[in-house]
Amino acid sequence: MISLERYLELVRANLRPVEVETVDVRSARGQVLASPLIAQRSVPAFDNSAMDGFAVRHRDLQPAKDSSLPRVWLPVTGQIPAGPFNADKLPAGSAMRIMTGACIPDGADTVIAVEDTDCPPGPVPLPTKISVPTDVPLGCHIRRQGEDVKAAETLACEGSLITPALIAACLAVGVTSVQAYRKVRVFIVSTGDELQDPQAPPHPGMIPDTNAFLLSSLVQEAGAEVIGVGRSADTVQSLLAVFNQAAQPDLVITTAGVSAGAFDVVKALKTQADLHFHKVAMQPGKPQGYGSLLISGRQVPILALPGNPVSAFVSFHTVVRAALNRLSGKGSSPHPLGLELLPAQAAQSWTSPAGRTQLLPVARAHRSDAIQVSPICPGRSVSHRVASLHRADAIAVVPAEVTQVNSGDAVSIIPTI
């Protein structure tokens, strides 16, 4: 047996990131930046008002001598809606009504929120004069040019995931196309004489092929593109025929046929392809294989996952994720497994096998001080429990040397939703 850490290293070392393309950032969600993102302009692009209110000069905010109130009346000399810049200048000793996001007029250095004046908020006629407080700080309610980001600043480094917020950031700083790794193309193949189309009437001895759809949904959720889903009988000839249906995949994922059965078809490919099978010290998911095979004249990386659906699921969240992170240019996290894990707490006790990393489907409950997790299935054998798996929203990762997890213990989890 080899450790899960070591196996993930071997899988990553066998892979190179896909090519880089120039893409319209608006449609690049889920891709990964291949070069740093440099701001082309500052945000905010100009000084503007943070509130609907009145732009004033701070030095005009002197309370009237005969008044005990910290307020002053100022004549209103115009108004500035948000929109195209107009070179307004604020006459000394006056105020201008200004809207959120509108350009601060020359001469103004402070904004008083409408709520702090005697002018009612909303679409009311422009008052001729306005009562404003005098005890406001200089520069109040003004968003300064470049206070968020300055032109030429680096906003995100290579390897950053293009999220909806990063798309907004790009557009705000004047970047409309980016260098990104193209989407990873994945072909998924389930193997087994017992598999039938989930829509077919049930036949004795046969089961619906759930893995193909489990994995294709997971792969899409991870931001890659599923270019096809195939199903093979337990013969090498059938499996090779299915592989040849794949149009230029970056990765082929198979399920089942990798353990000690007499008809384990993926293992039987060993003589025809550069495949490495290992017993990985993980539970479930022990039998695993990786390597490459020739499809339409190209060597294509392959991951051979075990067939039990829960094994395939935990293999996706460890092995396939590691591979997709590498292929997509995302890279690994600093955790020893190179995966994103979160801290949580066991809500109950359970046992874990000696010498194997336990990958236990758990349900999360968010308490005020911690995320608490409970196994979704009592008992040890979970790998076949495809109809219960949907109750899990995380996988607890229990290190190989731990054999007992007690209620209240710290555990690391991989969120799966």
End-to-end distance of the chain based on CA atoms, in angstroms? 30
Instruction: Give 52 or 209: the residue with its C-beta nearer to Mg ion.
Output: 209
Residue type, 90: L
**285 contact, one of Mg ion, ligand AMP, none, CB 5-8 Å limit per kind:** none
Residue 256 beta carbon to Mg ion: minimum distance, rounded to whole angstroms: 4
Q: CA 281, CA 352: separation in Å to the nearest integer?
A: 12
User: Which residue's CB comes closest to ligand AMP?
Assistant: 307
Q: CA 384, CA 142: separation in Å to the nearest integer?
A: 60
Q: CA 321, CA 317: separation in Å to the nearest integer?
A: 5
Binding residue (CB under 5 A) for Mg ion from 39, 188, 256, 371: 256
| Residue 288 near residue 306 (C-beta atoms within 8 A) | yes
**361 contact, one of Mg ion, ligand AMP, none, CB 5-8 Å limit per kind:** none
Give me the phi and psi of 264, to 5 degrees please: -75, 100
Q: Which residues pair with 404 in a beta bridge?
A: 351
| Residue 178 near residue 170 (C-beta atoms within 8 A) | yes
Residue 192 beta carbon to Mg ion: minimum distance, rounded to whole angstroms: 4
- Other CB atoms within 10 A of residue 251 CB: 24
Contact between 375 and Mg ion by CB under 5 A: the answer reads no
**225 contact, one of ligand AMP, Mg ion, none, CB 5-8 Å limit per kind:** none
Closest CA to 355 of 283, 276, 278: 283
User: Which residue's CB comes closest to Mg ion?
Assistant: 192
Stretch that binds Mg ion, among 25-33, 61-69, 83-91, 253-261 (CB under 5 A): 253-261
Residue 358 beta carbon to ligand AMP: minimum distance, rounded to whole angstroms: 19
Question: Could you list the residues that contact ligand AMP (CB under 6 A)?
Answer: 190, 192, 194-195, 207, 209-212, 255-259, 261, 306-309
Let me know if 84 is exposed, middle or buried by CB neighbors in 10 A (0-12, 13-18, 19+).
Answer: exposed
Instruction: Give 47 or 213: the residue with its C-beta nearer to ligand AMP.
Output: 213
Residue 306 beta carbon to ligand AMP: minimum distance, rounded to whole angstroms: 6
Residue 308 beta carbon to ligand AMP: minimum distance, rounded to whole angstroms: 4
Instruction: Give 160 or 216: the residue with its C-beta nearer to ligand AMP.
Output: 216
Q: Report the DSSP pairing between strands 342-346 and 371-375.
A: parallel
Binding residue (CB under 5 A) for Mg ion from 192, 249, 291, 375: 192
Give CA torsion, residues 316, 317, 322, 327, to 10 deg: 60
Instruction: Give 178 or 376: the residue with its C-beta nearer to ligand AMP.
Output: 376
**211 contact, one of ligand AMP, Mg ion, none, CB 5-8 Å limit per kind:** ligand AMP
**56 contact, one of Mg ion, ligand AMP, none, CB 5-8 Å limit per kind:** none
Q: CA 390, CA 152: separation in Å to the nearest integer?
A: 47
**306 contact, one of Mg ion, ligand AMP, none, CB 5-8 Å limit per kind:** ligand AMP
Contact between 155 and Mg ion by CB under 5 A: the answer reads no
Alpha-carbon Rg of the chain, whole angstroms?
A: 31
Alpha helices in 233-305 (DSSP H): 236-243, 265-268
Residue 245 beta carbon to Mg ion: minimum distance, rounded to whole angstroms: 20
Residue 3 beta carbon to ligand AMP: minimum distance, rounded to whole angstroms: 22
